[in-house]
Copies of this chain bind each other. A is one copy, B any other.
Amino acid sequence: MEVLRAVIAKMITISAAELDAFVAQCYRKTFKKKDFLSDAERFVHEIYFIEEGLLRVMITDVEGREHTTHFAVEQQFIADYNAFLTGQRSKYQLQALEDSSTIVLPRKAIEWGYEHLQEGEKLGRLIAEYYFIYLDTRLQHQYTLSPKERYDLMNDIFPDIHNRVPQHMIASYLGITAVHLSRIKRQ
């Protein structure tokens, strides 16, 4: 749990005792490649912290088509945070794209944190802000960048993604089809 402790300690001021108490309420859970952490239509009561591996968030539309909306790797949090917050059924699925090791932060631990950690609310605020910034920035790119530019940007930010996830998922993440991405790369 060392990495999780370090990540939290970087976000807020927190004592070792507080960290102990918080982390004691979390537990490790591992997933094999292609496992689903969480399915659509379920109620969501946990956030995952990724120790090792690579996961994605996807959503399935009425025609049964999958859309990948998010990739996450080591030292990041991942969840259907919307369903977690609103209490509504999940619309997303979380899936491991590699064998992965996660730490589960159950709702109880998080709410305990809001009440008992000195800066628990601040941690919650920072996480929500982080999620918002991530989403909004992606949206901005969707509006202002061409598929090709989004593709190049992704390669800058996450250079080894090609070796870790299949291209059709990258295409989906970029909002285009696999065929179209292949065409773009040709040029």
Contacts and interface: CB of A to CB of B under 8 A. Distances in A.
Interface of A: 59, 61-62, 67, 69, 81-82, 85-86, 91, 114, 119, 121-122, 124-125, 128-129, 131-133, 135-137, 139-140, 143-144
Q: Could you say how many copies of this chain the assembly holds?
A: 2
Contact of A135 (B114, B129, B135): B135
A132 B86 CA distance: 11
A122 B120 CA distance: 9
A122 B85 CA distance: 14
Nearest to A128: B128
Given A128-B129, A144-B91, A69 B139 contact: yes
B121 A59 contact: no
Would you call the interface of chain A mostly helix, strand, loop, or mixed? helix
A15 B67 CA distance: 46
A133 B85 contact: yes
A114 B124 CA distance: 13
A125 B121 CA distance: 7
Contact of A124 (B67, B125, B143): B125
A82 B136 CA distance: 7
Given A67-B143, A121-B125, A125-B124, A132 B62 contact: no
